[in-house]
């Protein structure tokens, strides 16, 4: 029997961490992720978990402590947002290059400057090539479920990469929703114990962690990281199947919402998918064949599968909640169009940058995108593929 609760996204993340009961949690407060370690610290102080909670002096130190804990053979977790993730920058790369399966809750927020504490995806997109598995969450339920699955994915011997679970700051992190929790004993059984093969405190094997790695070896080690990321795709699907058996909740690499007979579709991530589903339903009632492809797994990027899912459409819009500032569109748009090109899928595709710094994204805005797509589908003429949604002036 699942446990029905009403929780914010941050509370849900903290409860998942409590049920996992990691060996070490190291964290430093930053809005809007502060509540996750704050809630978790109460579980530590009340003796509900036996986790070593390390209150550090900075986010760089938080990730450094997680790196040290994992290297020593412990299961480690943390949480951060925006500039906190930026402050971790050096250690984010070190965690992945050392093949340490750290799990982090990333509550997405605009990266300064100018300073802004509200939601966009500039923090996550800034580390998209750092070698972390990246899962995105539409709502509080998905943030919780993704965290429960995270260690099984990251710690798989075919993967051994750190993993971040993303959710939208304030929009889900601070909003209360109905959620179904899994019983503590079932979570513990599902996640299992962490038994690394190689770690510093193993007195039966002398190893070095993070050594100097020059011309003769670094290239090969980076290739191994790339292979591990490719392996993660199948592992994610395997873990998701086991999760479905336990909970009845099904997860894939992405979600196809009314896409099977759609003529026009939006591709997006995180909470915007909820608004888009509402608009799709409204348009369907008017006889417009609209659909949605919601990305769950951003790294590894499921290029072939996405191209196949989009192949039958007449026009596509990719929504990016961050701008690459490269004059040719956002990061999700770049990945989607690359996937389509490589897999010989030719569909007129446009990009919309939206929601920067927490700018509201309303159903009317999404509907206008679908109306633009209808015109493109009718004429085949894209005109300007690089667009903005909800921009004043």
**Token pair for 284:** 């369907």
- Angle at the Cα of 134 (from 155 to 30), degrees rounded to 5? 100
User: What 3-state DSSP class applies to 328?
Assistant: coil
The residue among 311, 310, 333 whose CA lies nearest residue 321 is 333
Task: Give the C-alpha separation, 357 to 337, whole Å.
Answer: 25
User: What 3-state DSSP class applies to 36?
Assistant: helix
Give the global pTM: 0.98
Q: Cβ distance 7 to 142 under 8 Å?
A: no
Q: Cβ distance 210 to 91 under 8 Å?
A: no
Taking only Cα atoms into account, the Rg of the chain, rounded to an integer number of angstroms, comes to 21
Fold of 254-389: Rossmann fold (3.40.50)
Q: What's the pLDDT score for residue 24? A: 98
Q: What's the pLDDT score for residue 284? A: 98
Question: Is residue 63 over pLDDT 90?
Answer: yes
Peptide bond into 32 cis (omega under 30): yes
**Residues of CATH 3.40.50.920 domain(s) within the chain?**
254-389
Q: What's the pLDDT score for residue 393? A: 82
Task: Give the C-alpha separation, 253 to 135, whole Å.
Answer: 9
Contacts of 52 (CB under 8 A, 6+ apart): 23, 24, 25, 69
Per-residue confidence band for 280, with pLDDT thresholds at 50, 70 and 90: very high
pLDDT tens track for 123-152: 999 999 999 999 999 999 999 999 999 999
Question: Is residue 22 over pLDDT 70?
Answer: yes
Average pLDDT value for residue range 49-66: 98
Per-position DSSP letters for 377-389, written without gaps between them: HHH---S-SEEEE
Average pLDDT of the chain to the nearest whole number: 97
Q: Which CATH number fits domain 3-247: 3.30.530.20, 3.40.50.720, 3.30.360.10, 3.40.50.970?
A: 3.40.50.970
CA dihedral 371, 376, 377, 380 (to 10 degrees): 170
107 strand-pairing partners: 167
The residue among 51, 295, 324, 6 whose CA lies nearest residue 179 is 6
Q: What's the pLDDT score for residue 211? A: 84
Question: Is residue 1 over pLDDT 80?
Answer: no
Task: Give the C-alpha separation, 127 to 147, whole Å.
Answer: 19
Task: Give the C-alpha separation, 304 to 342, whole Å.
Answer: 8
Peptide bond into 114 cis (omega under 30): yes
Task: Give the C-alpha separation, 356 to 90, whole Å.
Answer: 25
Q: State what percent of residues in the chain have pLDDT above 70.
A: 100
**Residues of CATH 3.40.50.970 domain(s) within the chain?**
3-247
Distance of alpha carbon 36 from the chain centroid: 16
Question: Is residue 316 over pLDDT 90?
Answer: yes
């Amino acid at each position: 029997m699942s446990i029905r609760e009403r929780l914010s996204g941050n509370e849900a993340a903290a409860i998942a961490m409590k049920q996992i009961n990691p060996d070490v949690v190291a964290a430093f407060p930053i809005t809007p992720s502060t509540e996750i370690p704050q809630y978790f610290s109460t579980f530590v102080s009340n003796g509900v978990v036996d986790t070593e909670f390390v209150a550090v002096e900075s986010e760089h130190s938080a990730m450094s402590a997680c790196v040290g804990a994992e290297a020593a053979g412990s299961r480690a977790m943390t949480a951060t947002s925006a500039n906190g993730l930026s402050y971790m920058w050096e250690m984010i790369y070190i965690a992945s290059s050392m093949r340490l399966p750290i799990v982090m809750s990333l509550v997405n927020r605009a990266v300064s400057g100018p300073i802004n504490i509200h939601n966009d995806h500039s923090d996550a997109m800034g580390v998209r090539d750092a070698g972390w598995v990246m899962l995105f969450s539409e709502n509080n339920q998905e943030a919780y479920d993704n965290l429960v699955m995270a260690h099984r994915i990251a710690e798989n011997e075919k993967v051994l990469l750190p993993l971040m679970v993303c959710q939208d700051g304030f929009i889900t992190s601070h909003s209360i929703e109905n959620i179904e929790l899994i019983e503590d004993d079932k979570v513990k059984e599902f996640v299992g114990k962490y038994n690394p093969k190689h770690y510093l405190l193993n007195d039966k094997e002398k190893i070095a962690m993070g050594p100097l790695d020059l011309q003769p070896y670094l290239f090969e080690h980076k290739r191994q990281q790339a292979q591990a990321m490719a392996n993660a795709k199948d592992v994610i699907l395997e873990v998701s199947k086991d999760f479905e058996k336990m909970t009845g909740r099904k997860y894939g690499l992405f979600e196809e919402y009314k896409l099977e007979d759609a003529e026009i579709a939006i591709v997006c991530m995180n909470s915007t998918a909820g608004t888009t589903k509402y608009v799709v339903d409204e348009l369907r009632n008017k006889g417009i064949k609209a659909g949605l492809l919601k990305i769950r797994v951003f790294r590894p990027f499921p290029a072939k599968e996405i191209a196949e899912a989009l192949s039958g459409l007449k026009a596509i819009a990719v929504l990016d909640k961050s701008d690459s500032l490269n004059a040719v569109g956002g990061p999700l748009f770049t990945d989607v169009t690359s996937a389509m090109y490589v897999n010989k899928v030719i569909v007129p595709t446009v990009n919309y940058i939206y929601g920067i710094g927490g700018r509201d994204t309303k159903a009317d805005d999404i509907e206008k995108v679908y109306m633009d797509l209808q015109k493109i589908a009718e004429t085949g003429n894209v005109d300007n593929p690089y667009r903005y949604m909800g921009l004043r002036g």
